[in-house]
Amino acid sequence: MNSGDHSIFQLSPGLLVRIFSKLSSDPETLRSCAFTCRAWLEPSRRILHETVCIEPSYQYLHHLSQIYLSSNLAQYVRALTITLDGWPQQDAQVLHDNHDLLVSLFRSFPHLQRLNLQNLVWSSLPPETINLVLSLTGLQTLTLRSVSFDSNVQFESTILAFPGLSTLSIDDVRWSEDLPFPPMDPEKDMSLPLQSLRLGTCTSQAALTERLLCYNFELRKLEVKWEDFRRTKPIRDLLRSAGNHLREISIDLPQIVCAQNADEVEHLERDFSLSYNTNLRYIHFHSIFLDAHPTEAFHVSWVYGPLAQASNDTLSQVTFDVFADGVPSLSRFQWDCVSHLLSAERFRNAPDVVVNAHIMVDEEKDQGKTTNESVVKYLKSHLVLLQDRVTVHPDIVG
């Protein structure tokens, strides 16, 4: 760039924020950007201070308070993570002993939109902190990971405390007693702004899903890691309820649910049907484990069934996360069937297919036979009807 060209420094703040957001995982470079020129200072600070993580130590809390309570940097904070490492009592005690610092920090973040709670017991937080969390009326995204509640009532009331909540992520969420949810209040407003839901493990996936179906919301994105294989009707009802509002779905089922007989195949294809979701753009199948030494024929009906029943002209991408122990075990998945299903006439255009192939090999026995090229060649040769639209990401681990 010649000395007279200053156009890079005259970009709009909004565009600079978009550019600097690509550096969100590189704080050192962002700090350098902040000191480059005055025009870059605020956009880089917005990304640098967008997310804050609170950990249970006095030194860390004191460090954060020095940064955010004595400056105007708190105005940039949009996301907050509170984490206790494995729910230890001493960590909870640290938060209680330093609750003044914690409360002051919370109050200094007036524009919080995303909250991530992980590895903690909800009731172990200081009461004033809980009240401050529940008063975050502008919260849009809530992530609960390895969080324990006293009851399903406490869990539900926490979720409902945020009137603008559009994204909810649940993974390893527990409540102490597996009791039915109490009857709904007929006078209660049953509408929720929820648009994105990640439904991972919890005390009772089926009961929670049935409870969510009592509310009115238009789901556009669904990520489901289903483990309650004997009770799959609630997930079928959730997919039916989402209807043509659903744009993106990710399905992750444990290996034990792989159907071994015709009855189980029919059961899975019925309950994991995408026939109601006629505006889907993206489908992502996680955790497809291919065993090289099976005792019975291997079926992944929760993949074939949904693909066979999907019928829309909006589908643009299907992704498969496959785990295998060598190229030969890849043959245990019916790629030819996938190729045929996704090239059917009911799709206006065949969607792009992305295969993330994680291959575990015994280096001594394999002797270098399994390569990135051999994995790509095998998969593309069996997805021949989609040849030009197939992308393979091989990951070979010895």
- Alpha-carbon span 179 to 29, nearest angstrom: 51
- Alpha-carbon span 146 to 167, nearest angstrom: 17
Once rounded to an integer, what is the mean pLDDT over residues 110-135? 88
Which pLDDT does position 28 carry in this prediction? 84
Q: Is the dihedral of CA 266, 272, 277, 279 positive or negative?
A: negative
Which pLDDT does position 158 carry in this prediction? 94
Q: Is the pLDDT of residue 68 over 60?
A: yes
Q: Which of 7-21, 81-95, 316-330: highest mean pLDDT?
A: 316-330
Q: Rounded to the nearest 5°, which phi and psi values hold at 329?
A: -70, -20
Q: Which of 21-25, 33-37, 236-240, 260-264: highest mean pLDDT?
A: 236-240
- Please report the beta strands in 185-281, taking only residues with DSSP state E, as ranges in sequence order: 196-199, 221-225, 248-252
Counting beta carbons within 10 angstroms of the beta carbon of residue 191, is it exposed (0 to 12), middle (13 to 18) or buried (19 or more)?
Answer: exposed
Residue from 341, 365, 368 nearest 353 by CA: 341
**Amino acid occupying residue 75:** Q
Q: Is 280 left (phi over 0), alpha (psi -120 to 50) or beta?
A: beta
Q: Is the pLDDT of residue 261 over 60?
A: no
Task: Give 225-250 pLDDT, tens digit per residue.
Answer: 887 767 778 888 999 999 999 999 99
Q: Is the pLDDT of residue 174 over 70?
A: yes
- Alpha-carbon span 197 to 167, nearest angstrom: 6
Once rounded to an integer, what is the mean pLDDT over residues 165-174? 95
Residues 6+ apart with CB under 8 A from 397: 358, 359, 360, 361
Share of the chain above pLDDT 90, in %: 23
Task: Give 358-372 pLDDT, tens digit per residue.
Answer: 887 766 776 777 888
Specify the higher pLDDT residue, 98 or 352: 352
186, 211 Cβ separation under 8 angstroms:
no
The residues spanned by each domain of the chain are: 1-48, 251-398
Neighbour tally for 86: CB within 10 Å: 9
Q: Is the pLDDT of residue 341 over 90?
A: no
Residues 6+ apart with CB under 8 A from 282: 247, 248, 249, 315, 316, 317, 318, 319
Specify the higher pLDDT residue, 54 or 146: 146
Q: Is the pLDDT of residue 46 over 70?
A: yes
Neighbour tally for 249: CB within 10 Å: 23
Once rounded to an integer, what is the mean pLDDT over residues 40-69? 81
Rounded (5°) CA angle 221-224-296: 135
Residue from 168, 22, 5, 66 nearest 33 by CA: 22
Specify the higher pLDDT residue, 266 or 126: 126
> How many residues belong to the chain?
398
Rounded alpha-carbon distances, angstroms, from residue 257 to 125, 172, 318: 37, 19, 21
Which pLDDT does position 123 carry in this prediction? 86
Q: Categorize the per-residue pLDDT at 301 as very low, low, confident or very high, splitting at 50, 70 and 90.
A: low
CB-hemisphere CA count at 13 Å for 119?
15
Q: Is 114 left (phi over 0), alpha (psi -120 to 50) or beta?
A: beta
Which pLDDT does position 361 carry in this prediction? 75
Once rounded to an integer, what is the mean pLDDT over residues 171-195? 87
Question: Concatenated DSSP letters for 125-151?
Answer: S-HHHHHHHHT-TT--EEEEEEEEES-
The per-residue b/e assignment along 234-247, b for 16 or more CB within 10 angstroms, e otherwise, is bbeebbebbeeebb
The model carries a pTM of 0.84
Which pLDDT does position 292 carry in this prediction? 54
Task: Give 315-324 pLDDT, tens digit per residue.
Answer: 889 999 988 8
Residues 6+ apart with CB under 8 A from 81: 51, 52, 53, 54, 115, 116, 117, 118
- Alpha-carbon span 283 to 223, nearest angstrom: 10
- Alpha-carbon span 151 to 146, nearest angstrom: 15
Question: How large is the C-alpha radius of gyration of the chain?
Answer: 25
Q: Is the pLDDT of residue 299 over 60?
A: no
Task: Give 211-230 pLDDT, tens digit per residue.
Answer: 999 999 999 999 998 877 67
Residues 6+ apart with CB under 8 A from 349: 313
Q: Rounded to the nearest 5°, which phi and psi values hold at 247?
A: -110, -30
Specify the range with the lowest mean pLDDT, choosing from 14-23, 75-84, 254-263: 254-263
Q: Is the pLDDT of residue 6 over 70?
A: no
